[in-house]
């Protein structure tokens, strides 16, 4: 199919205005539905009908006027209506009801999807034939088994497209992945020989604008059986008692926006279905299906494909978690080696010479710089010294001190003037020490020149009337060479680099590589975030108390505390929130203990309390008091926080490792017993 339109190139002002119009188009309130189903809008109590779709007579055998003059109970019966009431508030995405309605002298089965829409309850009816649910159960079971064996993203995406096309019969099925700028790319495809391939092609972010992406978080499936079919209007056009447009975001029948119908027509697509792939709460991509003919899927098959896509999303999370675990392991190995050998380093140059190449491998970097005081030590390919001085000065002025800074598009930042064209990315992690200027660990990445293949020229054009963006009339491959960019830095890489910078700072302080001052001494024994003793310092104190208990026959208590469900603070409010919670818990622990007790940060969200001359019974009381104090903390918007505590008491008859292990095992027992509790270790 082809589309011809009178277009002209956009000026910057026209582009901005047109993109704003596209981003604010009310696609969720079209005032119409697709013709393969019927819509009825009722009051919240399901006692009155306010609007229906104009095709209701053809579908249900009763005129719109008759339906509007009657009640939901007269149309469906009291038993079915009660069933709908029972499920209307269920949050499950599969909360539809299936029942029969007699029309034209025969009974027809319908799948009815009820949902709230403002002051109304909307009922969407779709005809159902046969019972496909039975045959789909074994398919879903087999898919779950196959998923457990998949270890790479490429394999997962290819398996997903093949299974979907086998089940649904579309001409082309794709896995479409978003990048950090919401441009999309096709990373897997299954298709017939008769349709074009889009594998490896890119699509601009404006093809799926923001308000459409938001809808995928409300309704994960967008099914368009026939984009050429005329939409069916609502009768009456406006609700007689509520003039607010009917929001159809939660439904499946929502009419297709005219611009999207034209977009599909220009692509040669008649039927389309897209299923959202969410990973860690963010829209990661789409399972996109196309056909050159109308295709009305059974609701059961559509639900099955939704379940298939959702399980694939979970597997993406597992694959990413495995990749992240490998990065963490490599980074931790590098950090452990660094701390184990810290006494061997006398100068910054020795530190970078010994470990620099390993850091480049861990972070996939092409060059590294360690800047401490007036010293600049480098490994690999980096800008020259004058440019590095300018970069460090800019970071000192503009960066958020204490936080890593990263860019994979340096030529688009003020730093672009100081790097060669072969360098595309920079990750800058500050060392948490005071100095005449801020100390930094800089990691550079080469640019990665890419030939990006777009599905049509992505430059937007303007229709001759209305000031609206028109879809591309051609989706023929259009190549663009992308330069000046590196592989993107991940959030995990930024956190790992910041942790490494903290360890480097500890080594620098411990060996007096830079000018010694009070902050360096504090850094060597205290956690930079909470101000508590760090693991090294609290470990020294544990050894001393064990020896004291052994020598004088006293007892010593060790408590291991772990914040419950800590990840939710980072996932819900961001990593700054997680840091705030750590600081508040550390402060509460410090303030609740006796003058003779010691508290330190063991690592991550885990803390250690050391209480000399404390019996098992007193340890239990002390730990319970601490647990309650933390539970009663007022964290404002973050809500409440709880901790699980494992307690061990020694009389000096064991080494530090065994002592810590018993407390740690008690902590795990507290976690397994339901969290927010205290458990005592056995001897």
Taking only Cα atoms into account, the Rg of the chain, rounded to an integer number of angstroms, comes to 31
Sign of CA dihedral 473, 479, 484, 485: positive
- In the chain, the N- to C-terminal Cα span, in Å, equals 78
Domain CATH number, residue 407: 3.30.450.270
Please state, for a pLDDT cut of 90, what percent of the chain lies above it: 40
Select from 129, 147, 176 the least CA-distant residue to 455. Answer: 176
Which of 520, 541, 571 represents a domain boundary (last residue)? 520
My answer on whether 402 and 498 are in the same domain is: yes
* Residue 55 per-residue DSSP state: T
Tokens of 386: 């004058």
Per-residue model confidence (pLDDT) at position 11: 54
Select from 392, 394, 391, 369 the least CA-distant residue to 379. Answer: 369
**Per-residue pLDDT tens over the stretch 65-97:** 999 999 999 888 888 898 888 888 765 555 788
Task: Give the contacts of 152 (CB within 8 A, at least 6 positions apart).
Answer: 319
**∠ CA 635-636-637 to the nearest 5 degrees?**
115
Distance, in Å, from the CA atom of 391 to the CA atom of 383, rounded to the nearest integer, reads 9
Confidence of residue 245 (pLDDT cuts 50, 70, 90): very high
**Per-residue pLDDT tens over the stretch 570-582:** 888 888 888 999 9
Cβ atoms within 10 Å, residue 152? 11
My answer on whether 377 and 273 are in the same domain is: no
| Beta-sheet pairing, 469-470 with 461-463 | antiparallel
In a domain, 471, yes or no: no
Q: How many structural domains compose the chain?
A: 4
Tokens of 181: 């700028």
Tokens of 488: 């993107």
On average, the pLDDT of the chain sits at: 84
In the numeric block, the tokens 């500050």 are attached to: 430
What is the CB-side half-sphere exposure of residue 129 using CA atoms within 13 A? 3
My answer on whether 316 and 361 are in the same domain is: no
Give 394: exposed, middle or buried? Use CB within 10 Å, 0-12, 13-18, 19+: middle
In a domain, 25, yes or no: no
Which of 88, 113, 128 represents a domain boundary (last residue)? 128
Q: Which residues pair with 650 in a beta bridge?
A: 556
Tokens of 537: 């310092």
Tokens of 70: 């009657």
Per-residue model confidence (pLDDT) at position 339: 61
Distance, in Å, from the CA atom of 135 to the CA atom of 313, rounded to the nearest integer, reads 23
Distance, in Å, from the CA atom of 242 to the CA atom of 51, rounded to the nearest integer, reads 11
Tell me: pLDDT of 316 over 60: yes
Asked if 640 contacts 565 with a C-beta cutoff of 8 angstroms, the reply is no
Please, where are the H alpha helices in 8-132? 12-23, 56-60, 64-69, 72-76, 78-87
**Per-residue pLDDT tens over the stretch 626-641:** 999 999 998 888 889 9
Q: Which residues pair with 596 in a beta bridge?
A: none
Per-residue model confidence (pLDDT) at position 624: 93
Q: Which residue segment(s) compose the domain that 568 sits in? A: 526-680
Tell me: pLDDT of 9 over 60: no
In a domain, 147, yes or no: yes
Asked if 660 contacts 558 with a C-beta cutoff of 8 angstroms, the reply is yes
Confidence of residue 465 (pLDDT cuts 50, 70, 90): very low
In a domain, 647, yes or no: yes
Per-residue model confidence (pLDDT) at position 22: 52
Select from 493, 375, 398, 382 the least CA-distant residue to 444. Answer: 382
In a domain, 645, yes or no: yes
In the numeric block, the tokens 């184990």 are attached to: 340
My answer on whether 179 and 123 are in the same domain is: no
Please state, for a pLDDT cut of 70, what percent of the chain lies above it: 83
In a domain, 668, yes or no: yes
My answer on whether 367 and 273 are in the same domain is: no
My answer on whether 542 and 635 are in the same domain is: yes
Distance, in Å, from the CA atom of 125 to the CA atom of 561, rounded to the nearest integer, reads 54
**Per-residue pLDDT tens over the stretch 177-213:** 998 889 899 999 999 999 999 998 888 888 888 889 9
Distance, in Å, from the CA atom of 344 to the CA atom of 167, rounded to the nearest integer, reads 63
In the numeric block, the tokens 């890419």 are attached to: 450
Give 270: exposed, middle or buried? Use CB within 10 Å, 0-12, 13-18, 19+: buried
In the numeric block, the tokens 């690999």 are attached to: 380
**Per-residue pLDDT tens over the stretch 154-182:** 999 999 999 999 999 999 999 999 988 89
Please, where are the H alpha helices in 71-209? 72-76, 78-87, 133-147, 153-168
Interhelix angle for 535-552 vs 518-525, to 10°?
Answer: 60
My answer on whether 547 and 575 are in the same domain is: yes
My answer on whether 439 and 383 are in the same domain is: yes
Distance, in Å, from the CA atom of 135 to the CA atom of 132, rounded to the nearest integer, reads 6
Per-residue model confidence (pLDDT) at position 457: 63
Asked if 595 contacts 611 with a C-beta cutoff of 8 angstroms, the reply is no
Distance, in Å, from the CA atom of 382 to the CA atom of 363, rounded to the nearest integer, reads 15
Per-residue model confidence (pLDDT) at position 335: 66
My answer on whether 152 and 123 are in the same domain is: no
My answer on whether 138 and 287 are in the same domain is: yes
Tell me: pLDDT of 54 over 70: yes
Distance, in Å, from the CA atom of 110 to the CA atom of 122, rounded to the nearest integer, reads 15
Domain CATH number, residue 100: 3.30.450.20
* Residue 249 per-residue DSSP state: T
In a domain, 469, yes or no: no
My answer on whether 164 and 215 are in the same domain is: yes
Find which of 16-30, 156-170, 200-214, 539-553 is predicted with most confidence, using mean pLDDT.
156-170
My answer on whether 60 and 181 are in the same domain is: no
Q: Which residues pair with 52 in a beta bridge?
A: 40, 235
Of 24 and 107, the structure prediction assigns the larger pLDDT to 107
Confidence of residue 513 (pLDDT cuts 50, 70, 90): very low
Per-residue model confidence (pLDDT) at position 341: 60
321-330, 404-413, 422-431, 617-626: least confident range:
321-330
In the numeric block, the tokens 């051609």 are attached to: 474
Interior/surface letters 547-575, b for 16+ CB within 10 angstroms, e for the rest: eebeeeebbbbbbbbbbbebeebbeeeee
In the numeric block, the tokens 């500890």 are attached to: 506
- The 3-class secondary structure across 395-449, one letter per residue, is HHHHCCCCCCEEECCHHHCHHHHHCCCCEEEEEEEEECCCCCCCEEEEEEEECCC
Per-residue model confidence (pLDDT) at position 486: 86
Cα separation values, 182 from 211, 283, 456, 666, Å: 12, 10, 17, 46
Which of 128, 146, 174 represents a domain boundary (last residue)? 128
Domain CATH number, residue 212: 3.30.450.40
In a domain, 73, yes or no: yes
Instruction: Give the residue-averaged pLDDT of 550-560.
Output: 88
**∠ CA 219-223-228 to the nearest 5 degrees?**
140
Of 277 and 348, the structure prediction assigns the larger pLDDT to 277
Task: Give the contacts of 542 (CB within 8 A, at least 6 positions apart).
Answer: 558, 608, 610, 656, 659, 660
Tell me: pLDDT of 10 over 90: no
Instruction: Give the residue-averaged pLDDT of 112-123.
Output: 93
Distance, in Å, from the CA atom of 610 to the CA atom of 547, rounded to the nearest integer, reads 14
Domain CATH number, residue 534: 3.30.70.270
Task: Give the contacts of 186 (CB within 8 A, at least 6 positions apart).
Answer: 174, 175, 176, 177, 198, 199, 200, 201, 203
């Amino acid at each position: 199919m082809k589309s011809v339109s009178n277009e002209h190139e956009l000026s910057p002002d026209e582009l901005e205005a047109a993109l704003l119009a596209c981003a604010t188009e009310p696609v969720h309130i079209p005032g119409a539905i697709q013709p393969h189903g019927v819509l009825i809008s009722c009051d919240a109590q399901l006692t009155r009908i306010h609007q229906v779709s104009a095709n209701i007579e053809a579908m249900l055998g009763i005129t719109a006027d008759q339906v509007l003059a009657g009640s939901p109970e007269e149309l469906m019966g009291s038993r079915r209506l009660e069933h709908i009431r029972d499920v209307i508030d269920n949050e499950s995405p599969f909360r539809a009801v299936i029942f029969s309605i007699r029309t034209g002298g025969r009974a027809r089965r319908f799948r009815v999807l009820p949902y709230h829409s403002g002051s109304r309850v909307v009922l969407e009816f779709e005809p159902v034939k046969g019972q496909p649910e039975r045959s789909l159960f074994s398919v879903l079971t087999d898919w779950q088994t196959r998923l457990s064996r998949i270890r790479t993203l490429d394999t997962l995406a290819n398996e997903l497209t093949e299974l979907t096309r086998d089940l649904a019969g579309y001409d082309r099925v794709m896995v479409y992945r978003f990048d950090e700028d919401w441009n999309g790319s096709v990373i897997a495809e299954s298709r017939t020989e008769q349709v074009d391939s889009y594998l490896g092609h890119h699509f601009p972010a404006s093809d799926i604008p923001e308000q459409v992406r938001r809808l995928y978080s409300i309704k994960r499936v967008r099914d368009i059986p026939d984009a050429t079919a005329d939409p069916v209007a609502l009768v009456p056009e406006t609700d007689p008692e509520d003039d607010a447009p009917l929001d159809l975001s939660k439904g499946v029948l929502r009419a297709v926006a005219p611009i999207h119908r034209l977009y599909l027509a220009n692509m040669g697509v008649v039927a389309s279905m897209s299923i959202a792939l969410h990973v860690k709460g963010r829209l990661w991509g789409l399972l996109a299906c196309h056909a050159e003919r109308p295709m009305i899927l059974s609701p059961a098959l559509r639900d099955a494909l939704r379940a298939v896509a959702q399980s694939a999303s979970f597997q993406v999370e597992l694959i990413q978690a495995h990749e992240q675990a490998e990065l963490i392991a490599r980074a931790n190995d590098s950090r452990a080696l660094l701390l184990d050998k810290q006494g061997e380093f006398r100068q910054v140059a020795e530190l970078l010479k010994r470990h620099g190449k390993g850091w480049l491998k861990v972070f996939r970097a092409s060059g590294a710089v360690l800047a401490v005081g007036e010293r600049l030590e480098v490994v690999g390919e980096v800008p020259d010294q004058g440019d590095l001085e300018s970069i460090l000065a800019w970071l000192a002025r503009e960066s958020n001190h204490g936080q890593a800074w990263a860019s994979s598009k340096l030529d688009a930042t003020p730093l672009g003037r100081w790097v060669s064209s072969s360098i595309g990315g920079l990750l800058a992690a500050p060392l948490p020490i005071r100095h005449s200027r801020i100390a930094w660990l800089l990691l550079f990445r080469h640019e990665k020149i890419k030939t990006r293949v777009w599905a049509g020229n992505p430059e937007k054009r303007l229709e001759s009337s209305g000031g609206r963006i028109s879809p591309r009339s051609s989706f023929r491959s259009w190549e663009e060479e992308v330069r000046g960019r590196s592989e993107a830095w991940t959030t995990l890489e930024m956190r790992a680099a910041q942790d490494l910078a903290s360890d480097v700072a500890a080594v620098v302080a411990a060996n007096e590589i830079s000018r010694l001052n009070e902050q360096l001494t504090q850094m060597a024994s205290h956690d930079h975030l909470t101000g508590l003793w760090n693991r090294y310092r609290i470990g020294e104190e544990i050894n001393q108390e064990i020896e004291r208990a052994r020598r004088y026959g006293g007892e010593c208590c060790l408590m291991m505390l772990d914040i419950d469900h800590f990840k939710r603070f980072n996932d819900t409010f961001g990593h700054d929130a997680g840091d705030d919670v750590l600081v508040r818990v550390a402060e509460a622990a410090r303030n609740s203990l006796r003058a003779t007790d010691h508290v330190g940060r063991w690592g991550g969200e885990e803390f250690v309390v050391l209480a000399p001359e404390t019996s098992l019974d007193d340890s239990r009381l002390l730990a319970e008091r601490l647990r309650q104090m933390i539970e009663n903390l007022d964290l404002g918007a973050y809500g409440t926080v709880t901790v699980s505590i494992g307690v061990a008491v020694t009389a000096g008859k064991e080494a530090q490792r065994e002592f810590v292990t018993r407390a740690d095992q008690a902590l795990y027992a507290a976690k397994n017993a339901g969290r927010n509790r205290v458990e005592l270790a056995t001897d």
